[in-house]
Amino acid sequence: MSTGKETGAVPPPARPLDDDAERLAALGYESHFRRDMSLWANFSLGFTYLSPVVGVYSLFAISLAQAGPPMIWAFVIAGLGQLLVALVFGEIVSQYPVSGGIYPWARRLWGRRWAWMNGWIYLVALLATIAGVSYGAGPYAAAMLGFETSVNATILCALAILAVATVINLSGTRRLAMAAIVGFTAELVGALVVGVWLLVTERHHGLGVFFDGQGAGEGGSYAAAFLAASLIGIYQYYGFEACGDVAEEVRDPARRIPKAMRMTIYVGGAAATFVALSLVLAVADFGAVVSGADADPVTTALTAAFGSGPVKIILGIVLISFVSCAMSLQAAASRLTYAYARDDMIAGSRVLARFSPTRHVPPYALLLAAVLPAVLVVGSKLSTDALTKIISFAALGIYLAFQAVVLAALRARLKGWRPSGPFTLGRWGLAVNVAALVYGIAAMINMSWPRTPDVPWYDNYIVPLSAAIVIVAGLAYMAATRHYGRGDTPAGDAVPASAADPLATR
């Protein structure tokens, strides 16, 4: 018997790369993901991360009590601001369609150190947000199942949501895409049905109330009250970046992901605004909400419109929204962790970069995105206040990570970077980039502003203080391990070589 070598036979030619794989190879990567995610699935992932129902239902009572019905304008303002950010991100991901989003974008635009710190802040914020979303589902589960809300019950509910989200994510990209589409459909249809029914059966006011504070902010500045209430809009509009976190799982990502990001803002923002509008018009007594007599106007309005029986179906849809949101957040966190590990930029890279040959997902990175949030949730048994403090950083951390990329894009643009992907803003790029940075800085100042002078100073400044702790911890990690210097994947190469700072790419 002769071997192929003996007979002069040659191995079959290597399978040619498709366009997406060729583009990725040119960026220095070979992907093991499967491109099973369509445009609609990619958009659905961003939508369920943004989650209009979770965002509105979680903060509606607080915002309405602080500023009255005009709080709804916060959705419009924040939506326009974050659309600017999404446009900047669209240019970047169109040129660099690499999994992990925030981290690889910052790496190519600025350099290793900037990217490492940016990804660190974003990862901590994502893990805290996963814990917060899972924990926040407890009261709705209690109302739906008819048991009394307690710390133990809330923890069990949160752990169940984390378990379901993890199982879906571990099952592979195709099932993740299907689950995202199901979650998107359930949430959007539920939001529209509930909103329309509230407008038809429980509308107590005309549209003029959206220009009337209804006594909110009395005794002080209404502008200050509105800025506090506007956090509902600021907290609502992130999630579109998740579309880019899974770039290597999307077909034709350079074109589809920028479109999916914009769709997330358009559709998610419109749905959130509609839900808030219908709820505001369904509140019979604004005075009771402003005074605190009605601390849960969402449940009050839903029960009045649907009754105690059917309202449980609505609460079931709300729980689906929480599961979908946690699932999308976990997907984003795992891809970011995998991107770090693939570049050998974090402790445990060898394990975290492992890939399932059957499911085509990074299982250990996914488990990290389940275990750490679970630890935070279980820790609430010892101190709910501690969990609240950890979660308080989450939104600011995500905005910090966003704006670090926006700043890196602006710096690179001023040094000669010209976006070269299929999606570009052309001559509007610089203006949009500057406007996105201005909006982001203003939003972060608003989030960090101390508004509780009667509490200890560290609680009054908990948001910026927690951000400072995360940043200092990241700097200490960088100094102790120098992981940021590992890996030979290009860094800082968006800037033309003649204008690049050699130190920035290290």
Any idea where the domains of the chain sit in the sequence? 35-485
Q: Residues 119, 100: contact at Cβ < 8 Å? A: yes
Task: Tell me what pLDDT residue 5 has.
Answer: 38
Q: Which long-range contacts link 448-457 to residues 24+ away (Cβ below 8 Å)?
A: 448/396, 449/227, 451/228
| % of the chain at pLDDT higher than 70 | 94
Residue 4 pLDDT exceeds 60: no
Quick one: pLDDT band at residue 305, thresholds 50, 70, 90?
A: confident
Which candidate, 236, 226, 300, 275, places its Cα nearest to that of 64?
226
pTM for the full predicted model: 0.91
Task: Tell me what pLDDT residue 2 has.
Answer: 37
Residue 487 pLDDT exceeds 60: yes
Q: Residues 329, 129: contact at Cβ < 8 Å? A: yes
**What CA–CA distance (Å, rounded) separates 240 from 261?**
5
Task: Tell me what pLDDT residue 1 has.
Answer: 36
Q: Please compute the mean of the pLDDT values over residues 141-156 and round it to a whole number.
A: 80
Quick one: pLDDT band at residue 14, thresholds 50, 70, 90?
A: very low
Task: Tell me what pLDDT residue 175 has.
Answer: 93
Helices (H), 51-172: 52-67, 73-95, 102-109, 112-136, 138-145, 151-170
Instruction: Give the tens place of pLDDT for each residue, 27-43.
Output: 988 888 999 999 999 99
* DSSP secondary structure code for residue 250 in this structure: B
Q: Please compute the mean of the pLDDT values over residues 480-497 and round it to a whole number.
A: 86
Q: Please compute the mean of the pLDDT values over residues 204-220 and round it to a whole number.
A: 87
CA atoms within 13 Å, Cβ hemisphere of 54: 33
Instruction: Give the tens place of pLDDT for each residue, 74-133.
Output: 999 999 999 999 999 999 999 999 999 999 999 999 999 999 999 999 999 999 999 989
Q: Please compute the mean of the pLDDT values over residues 406-426 and round it to a whole number.
A: 96
> Angle CA(334)–CA(447)–CA(451) in degrees, nearest 5?
140
Q: Please compute the mean of the pLDDT values over residues 379-391 and round it to a whole number.
A: 74
Q: Please compute the mean of the pLDDT values over residues 429-450 and round it to a whole number.
A: 96
**What CA–CA distance (Å, rounded) separates 97 from 120?**
20
Task: For 308, list phi and psi in degrees, rounded to 5.
Answer: -70, -25
User: Which structure tokens are listed for 453?
Assistant: 């002078």
Task: Tell me what pLDDT residue 363 has.
Answer: 96
Task: Tell me what pLDDT residue 71 has.
Answer: 95
Residue 232 pLDDT exceeds 80: yes
35-485 CATH pick, 3.40.50.10420, 3.40.50.300, 1.25.40.10, 1.20.1740.10: 1.20.1740.10
- Residue at 492: amino acid letter: G
Which candidate, 277, 322, 252, places its Cα nearest to that of 51?
322
Torsion of CA 347, 350, 351, 355, to 10 degrees: 130
Dihedral sign computed on CA atoms, order 103, 106, 108, 114: negative
Quick one: pLDDT band at residue 464, thresholds 50, 70, 90?
A: very high
97: left (phi over 0), alpha (psi -120 to 50) or beta: beta
Q: What is the mean pLDDT of the chain?
A: 89
Residue 3 pLDDT exceeds 70: no
Range in 394-398, 425-429, 483-487 with the lowest mean pLDDT? 483-487
| % of the chain at pLDDT higher than 90 | 62
Q: Residues 75, 269: contact at Cβ < 8 Å? A: yes
Q: Which residue has the higher pLDDT, 79 or 393?
A: 79
**What CA–CA distance (Å, rounded) separates 144 from 297?**
16
* DSSP secondary structure code for residue 189 in this structure: H
DSSP string, 417-450: ----SS---GGGHHHHHHHHHHHHHHHHHHHH--
Task: Tell me what pLDDT residue 180 has.
Answer: 94
Instruction: Give the tens place of pLDDT for each residue, 310-357.
Output: 777 888 888 888 899 999 999 999 999 999 999 998 889 999 999 998
Residue 454 pLDDT exceeds 60: yes
Q: Please compute the mean of the pLDDT values over residues 151-168 and round it to a whole number.
A: 91
Residue 397 pLDDT exceeds 70: yes
Residue 13 pLDDT exceeds 50: no
Torsion of CA 493, 497, 500, 503, to 10 degrees: 80
Task: Tell me what pLDDT residue 453 has.
Answer: 86
